[in-house]
Amino acid sequence: MGQVTIYLDDDSEAKMKAAAKASQVSTSKWVATLIQQALSEHWPGEVRELAGAWPDFPSEQELRQDKTTDTPREDW
Q: What is residue 12's predicted lDDT score, i.e. its pLDDT?
A: 97
Give the domain range for residue 14: 7-35
Q: What is residue 54's predicted lDDT score, i.e. its pLDDT?
A: 85
Q: Which pLDDT tens digit goes with each residue over 13-59?
A: 999 999 999 999 999 999 999 999 889 888 888 888 888 888 888 88
Does residue 27 lie within any of the structural domains? yes
In the three-class reduction of DSSP (H, G, I as helix; E, B as strand; rest coil), residue 16 is classed as helix
Contact 16, 31 (CB under 8 A): yes
* pTM greater than 0.85: no
Sign of the alpha-carbon dihedral angle for 58, 61, 62, 67: positive
- How far, in Å, CA of 1 to CA of 58, rounded? 48
**How many domains, the chain?**
1
Does residue 26 lie within any of the structural domains? yes
